[in-house]
C-alpha cells in the first residue's frame, strides 16, 4: 500500500534532485553566453571551465536518479509510476484524489492519473536516445573513469529538454494530489549572474585604472 507519508517523501526527494538540475542548467547556459567583451575575458579563466564541468556532472548524475531504470535509483520516475499504478492507496491519498477535481469519484481520479502516467511513459520513451547518452556518460565516464573510455557528448540543449521534462512530470503529478506546483526554473538566488556582474565591475575598474 502506498501511504500519504511515502508520497510526501517521494515528492520531497524529487524536489531537491530536480531543483539541482535547474540551478545547474541555468548556470551553464549563462556562462556560455557572455554579454560583453569583459565577460568573455572573465569566463576564459580556467575556473569557469571547471565550473561548467562540475555543473554538467551534477545534471547528468541527477537526471540518472530520476530517469534511469535501476534498482539502485530508489527515487526514479519509473518506480513512482509503478507504485501509483499497481499499489492500493491509503485513505489520505484517496481523499486527496477524490477532492481535487474528480467530482468525488475515486475511480475517475485514478483513471485520469493512470492516463497521465501512460502519457509520461511514452514521452520518456521518445527521449530514449538522449537518455542512453546521459546514462552511459554517468556510468562509464563519471562513475568508472577510464582514460580510454569514449562516450558520446551530451549537448546542453539536450540536457535542458530532460530537465524541463522532469519539471513537467513532477508538477503534473504533484498537482493531481496537492493542487500546487513548484517553480523549479526560479533559481535566482543560485544563479551566477550576480557573481559575473561583480567581477565585470572590478574588471572595468581595473582597466580604467591602467588607462590613466
For the chain, the structural domain boundaries read 4-211
For residue 100, the model assigns a pLDDT of 80
Per-residue model confidence as pLDDT tens digits over 11-26 = 999 999 999 999 999 9
For residue 140, the model assigns a pLDDT of 85
Nearest to 70 by CA among 122, 113, 134, 18: 134
pLDDT digit string (tens) for the chain, length 212 residues: 999 999 999 999 999 999 999 999 999 999 999 999 999 999 999 999 999 999 999 999 999 999 999 877 788 999 999 999 999 999 999 999 988 866 778 888 999 999 999 999 999 999 999 999 999 999 888 876 666 778 889 999 999 999 999 999 999 999 999 999 999 999 999 999 999 999 999 888 878 787 76
For residue 101, the model assigns a pLDDT of 66
For residue 105, the model assigns a pLDDT of 85
Q: Please state, as a whole number, how many other Cβ atoms lie within 10 Å of the Cβ of residue 133.
A: 18
Q: How far apart are CA 195 and CA 84, in angstroms?
A: 43
For residue 24, the model assigns a pLDDT of 98
Nine-digit cell at 107? 475511480
Q: Please state, as a whole number, how many other Cβ atoms lie within 10 Å of the Cβ of residue 138.
A: 21
For residue 102, the model assigns a pLDDT of 67
0.85 cut: is pTM over it?
yes
Q: What is the DSSP string of 22-55?
A: HHHHHHHHHHTS-SSHHHHHHHTSHHHHHHHHHH
Amino acid at each position: 500500500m502506498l501511504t500519504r507519508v511515502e508520497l510526501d517523501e517521494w515528492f520531497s526527494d524529487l524536489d531537491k534532485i530536480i531543483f539541482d538540475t535547474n540551478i545547474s542548467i541555468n548556470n551553464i547556459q549563462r556562462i556560455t553566453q557572455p554579454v560583453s567583451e569583459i565577460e568573455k575575458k572573465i569566463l576564459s579563466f580556467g575556473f569557469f571551465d571547471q565550473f561548467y564541468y562540475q555543473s554538467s556532472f551534477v545534471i547528468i548524475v541527477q537526471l540518472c536518479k530520476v530517469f534511469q531504470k535501476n534498482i539502485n535509483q530508489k527515487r526514479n520516475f519509473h518506480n513512482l509510476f509503478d507504485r501509483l499504478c499497481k499499489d492500493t492507496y491509503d485513505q489520505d491519498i484517496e481523499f486527496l484524489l477524490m477532492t481535487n477535481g474528480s467530482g468525488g469519484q475515486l475511480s475517475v481520479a485514478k483513471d485520469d492519473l493512470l492516463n497521465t502516467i501512460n502519457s509520461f511513459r511514452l514521452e520518456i520513451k521518445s527521449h530514449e536516445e538522449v537518455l542512453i547518452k546521459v546514462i552511459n556518460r554517468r556510468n562509464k565516464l563519471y562513475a568508472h573513469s577510464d582514460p580510454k573510455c569514449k562516450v558520446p557528448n551530451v549537448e546542453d540543449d539536450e540536457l535542458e529538454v530532460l530537465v524541463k521534462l522532469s519539471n513537467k512530470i513532477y508538477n503534473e503529478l504533484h498537482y493531481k494530489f496537492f493542487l500546487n506546483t513548484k517553480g523549479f526554473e526560479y533559481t535566482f538566488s543560485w544563479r551566477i549572474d550576480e557573481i559575473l556582474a561583480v567581477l565585470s565591475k572590478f574588471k572595468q575598474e581595473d582597466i580604467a585604472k591602467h588607462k590613466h
